[in-house]
A and B are shown apart, each in its own frame.
Chain A
Amino acid sequence: MATDKTNLQLVVNGILNENPIFRLVLSMCPAVGISTTVMNGFMLGIAVLFVQVCSSCTISLFKNVIHPRIRIPTYTLTIATWVTVIDMVLAAYLPEAYAKMGIFIKLIVAFAIITMRLEMFACKESVNASFWDGIGMGLGFMFGMMALGFVRELLGMGTILGYDVLGFKPLLFFVLPFAGFFCVGLMMAFFNYIEIVYKRAKRA
């Protein structure tokens, strides 16, 4: 079974239609835990993008030799291997960013989104399609994290990427760690609202 979507459609699908954070509601832990700044979201996004693309390609490459009964353990070990790689690379070359993200880099291994994509997509499709699907999912995650980070950094600190934009701090509340829950909840409600308004406009 091969997908009939073009590469571009696969990427866009990951970013919009099946955005991991806002549409599939998966991988919520980092979305709440470390989305305080745009930079944090970007860094973790890069890491997830790397792991997703590499694992997707690996599984797609070996899909014919993996016995269906042991496929889940195989996925887990593949992901764990790639997470170890990115964990060591970040610890060596970007120790500051690595310290900020703490345990979440290692926990990429347990992100439901990656296993889900392997199970739903990579184990059936060609390496090429899996690669672009991985890119789409990774970018979708990254954009979700950066959108959250954008709102929280702008409202909480009045800055974007560390540059002072507003000149004052509107709501310090948003940078406090627990505000992640409120922020995600409010953004989801906002998207729901847009959807409701859109449907109403369509019907009328």
Chain B
Amino acid sequence: MKTSTMKRIVLLLAVVLALPVLAQAQELIAGKSFGKAKNEIVVTFAGDVDRATVENPANYRVYEEQDPDIKLDLVRVALAPDQKTATLTFKEPLNTRVPHVVSISHLSESGAAATFKVMKPYLGYLFSILVSALLINNFVFTKYLGLCVFFGTSKRKDTAKGMGFTFTMVMVVSAIMSWFFYQFILKPYGLNFLQIVVFIGLVSLTVQAVDTVLRKVNPALFNAFGVYLVLVIANCVIIAVPLILADNEYNFLESFMLALGAGGGFLLALYLMSSVRERMELANIPATFKGVPIAFIVAGQFALAFLGFSGLTLF
């Protein structure tokens, strides 16, 4: 009795899961995604299709969802030998951050057009911003920002941890505030040229606010991290985040992810560096390299290692 119920549930689940696939099969399209190259869309058909119809660019209409009037320039369509996978090559790189609508006419026998949307999974995109700021474009090792603080406070692990957490906190708060200022004040009133002045002011304000709030709300945490807060003001790694998010026109969630990744990346870099420097104190280093020079060489080696992440692509 019990096993049959289980079987029935599994069967039901399978049907429910397969439903979208079945529904798509009716529309002749089995899969679609952005291609490997920036100007490609890959479409997989459910059954065999007529090569002449599919490879004729005149049968296609492709546009970004928010601009239906602007038809994208399709150069050619290539159908793979398996008769199912077609690669659409466009004249210009696509903006893969927005959904694209593709409509193919004369595909079915009735002559009706098959229309579908191509888009990246949004959560995956958010996650890729985070990982990119954390590893691939690590602010210290591949963007070379915040080096003064990086070399100044990476002598001991405890300091490095405290500094890293404080930085992350301030970065996230100041990035969110800067985003609001940028989107609702600077942009609508055409005050873009004030970016630098406004952002540096906001960062100083945030540091002061975090200082005051932390002192009242969590004195223990303040005693641990308070000393680092003074160092945070006007540091280039912090002011860089608002500038980058304004340049890229990120939305709220994307800005949050960027700030979190940047802060986490800074924490990671500080922690790695301090671990090495603690060991180096015991090592026998030539007198000319003692202190800062050897720290630079080690940082260079870390940068080399982080270069390995550059091929990392997610989603």
Contact = CB atoms under 8 A, between A and B. Distances in A.
Given A84-B197, A179-B300, A189 B145 contact: no
A33 interface: yes
A188 interface: yes
A32 B147 contact: yes
Contacts of A193: 288
Chain B, interface SS category:
helix
Contacts of B145: 29, 33, 107
B200 A76 contact: yes
A116 B213 CA distance: 28
A180 B143 CA distance: 11
Contacts of B143: 33
B288 A177 contact: no
B288 A109 contact: no
Task: Give the size range of B's interface with the partner.
Answer: 35 or more
Contacts of A179: 300
A27 interface: yes
A25 interface: yes
A110 B299 contact: no
A161 interface: no
Contact of A28 (B151, B196, B235, B244): B151
Interface stretch (B96-104, B172-180, B289-297): B289-297
B303 interface: yes
Interface string A179-204: 11110111011101100100000000
A107 B240 contact: yes
Nearest to A178: B303
A110 B236 contact: yes
A188 B196 contact: no
Contact of B294 (A30, A103, A115, A185): A185
Contact of A115 (B197, B234, B243, B299): B234
A178 B200 contact: no
B234 A188 contact: no
A27 B148 contact: yes
B300 A185 contact: yes
A106 B290 CA distance: 33
A109 B204 contact: no
Interface in B109-163: 141-148, 151
A111 B293 contact: no
B239 interface: yes
A193 B299 CA distance: 21
B238 to A, nearest CB: 8
Interface centre among B195, B240, B300, B304, by most chain A C-beta atoms within 10 angstroms, is B300
A103 B244 contact: yes
Contacts of B299: 181, 185
A185 B144 contact: no
Interface in B193-217: 193-197, 200-201, 204
A83 to B, nearest CB: 6
Nearest to A25: B292
Contact of B148 (A106, A112, A181, A185): A112
A178 B274 CA distance: 19
Interface in A140-158: none
Contact of A26 (B148, B233, B295): B148
A177 B151 CA distance: 18
A81 interface: yes
Given A182-B296, A192-B288, 6 more contacts: A32-B144, A80-B197, A178-B303, A185-B293, A192-B293, A196-B288
11 contacts: A25-B151, A28-B148, A81-B197, A84-B194, A103-B240, A107-B240, A110-B239, A111-B236, A115-B234, A186-B297, A192-B290
Interface of A: 25-30, 32-33, 72-73, 76-77, 80-81, 83-84, 87-88, 103, 106-107, 109-112, 115, 177-182, 184-186, 188-190, 192-193, 196
Interface of B: 141-148, 151, 193-197, 200-201, 204, 233-236, 238-240, 243-244, 287-290, 292-297, 299-300, 303-304, 307
Q: Which 8 A-B pairs have the closest CB atoms?
A: A185-B296, A181-B300, A33-B144, A178-B303, A110-B236, A28-B147, A189-B293, A182-B300
